[in-house]
Structure 1
């Protein structure tokens, strides 16, 4: 199923301020009715805010329905309606809920599966993380690439398995310096050697695709009712 692009109608008027559940650089997210999360430009007079929502709507339409992609209910050039997820984002959930190592491994695998799919569909996510992602150090004028997504995916896997960002608490400039010098965080808290190897290979840009990561990992038994969806901040078609 592809999310239908519809024209703005009276049904899509802006929600009230008290229903805001998230604020990004270009868009604001509202809880409409505990079933729908509506994403709208933060400032409709700001060209980049409007364009960001327009492009994201096109990408959701292009991606269609997939078990690892947030469900898009409907969208237009003015807004994107996604299924409301009451547990919030993954970073907050992991911080609030005690979860087993096996549960974390399954979530990390699902995160990889989401990236496999969007790359297959020629989409670069560019902002992967439980909440916010660390990117492969490169020229600031350079475009995001598969490799920068995979580097960031390694950091997200680290965050899922350990419960904190790589170099958590370190200033951004210092983190960039460390990564640029190929000085990577310790992975000793991760029990599985397979997962430690996979993260390090992401950081060292030794993978050509996300599917190669899955080939390096052992199978993980499927617990019940765990579904991780990649959502929001999808930027552009490659």
Structure 2
């Protein structure tokens, strides 16, 4: 006779949270793919000043000459921010440490707020240029500072989540490895900006794996509650 733990029923609140996390992870994944397509189609448009250091005039030129491309980026990036915040809010429920989960979500909310500030600055300048009022200066230093702070906050949030996730199966272990890869590549990218394009790969892997974790939780319910007495079979 063996003992089998009793599975805790998936509550409506938990189901809604996992479903939101799944949608958020999938949309984040899709936006990350869309960014690669936009980068290929609009190779001259650089919207992340920390990725490739540029002279002020080279950074300003696409804001004046390609405002429609800049605004397209901003539309996708707005959806991207909403999606990754949704995914990380749901991922907090996966954490085995509430403290680390809370710190992770707080860091990601900070990153999202900075991302929206960055988007607003770029969108306003692009819209102004589209209104036939070309810009003569760009807030390059402000954008550098905001982008760097955003990157630091996102790296911190993903690092805390990686430390908080359980490692009891292959998918979660793979997600932890992907999160660690993102942290390493992003930190290295601060010193070597040419590594910026490589950052997309761990993001795609991590969000894809999170989507898989949420899908499995929706199908199978949460993990057995260790506090529940075992039943005899």
TM-score (ref. length: structure 1): 0.29
User: Larger radius of gyration, structure 1 or 2?
Assistant: 2
Q: Which protein, 1 or 2, shows the higher relative CO under an 8 Å CA cutoff with sep ≥ 6?
A: 2
Structure with the higher fraction of residues in strand conformation:
1
